Amino acid sequence: MKEYELTVLIHPDLEADLETPLAKVRDIVKNAGGTVTREDNWGKKKLMYPIKREEFAVYVYMDVELPADAPLKISNILNITDEVLRYLLVKVDPKARAALAEQAKKAEENKTSEATNEEA
């Protein structure tokens, strides 16, 4: 199983009942043999250009683990899913993820040291 990042742009009219299209996306991942390890709703945002005559979309980010043949299956199904305006499925670069974790750790340490210096 390899790690992937899946970003899905959901139709803005479905924002009120977002759980239904998200459950559909989760089922697509599960039926392809994968698992969703993390999910983050980024909210409704304006698109850079209209997609299917829509100016806005609800962005949802997911970390998923998939077998080798699953990305093609998921892509084929998401292409014909009406609730999904666009999607991006990319393989995780472990070096980049480790570098981001290290950067976040350093930022936290700097923040802690600055707070300590201000108290003194």
**CATH number where 49 lies:** 3.30.70.60
Please tell me what DSSP assigns to residue 15. Answer: S
Do 36 and 22 meet the contact criterion of CB atoms below 8 Å apart?
no
Q: With 70 as the cut, is the pLDDT of residue 118 above it?
A: no
3-class DSSP assignment, residue 80: coil
Residue 87: how many CB atoms within 10 A of its CB? 18
Query: In this structure, is residue 107 part of a structural domain?
Result: no
| Band (117; pLDDT cuts 50, 70, 90) | low
At 94 the pLDDT is 84
Query: In this structure, is residue 39 part of a structural domain?
Result: yes
Q: With 80 as the cut, is the pLDDT of residue 116 above it?
A: no
Query: In this structure, is residue 83 part of a structural domain?
Result: yes
* Gap between the Cα atoms of 73 and 47, Å rounded: 26
Query: In this structure, is residue 17 part of a structural domain?
Result: yes
3-class DSSP assignment, residue 72: helix
| Band (97; pLDDT cuts 50, 70, 90) | confident
Query: In this structure, is residue 38 part of a structural domain?
Result: yes
Structural domain of 40: 2-93
Query: Which whole number is the average pLDDT over 69-92?
Result: 93
Please tell me what DSSP assigns to residue 12. Answer: G
Query: In this structure, is residue 79 part of a structural domain?
Result: yes
Beta strands in 16-68 (DSSP E): 35-51, 54-66
Model-level pTM greater than 0.85?
no
How many structural domains is the chain composed of? 1
Query: In this structure, is residue 53 part of a structural domain?
Result: yes
Query: In this structure, is residue 106 part of a structural domain?
Result: no
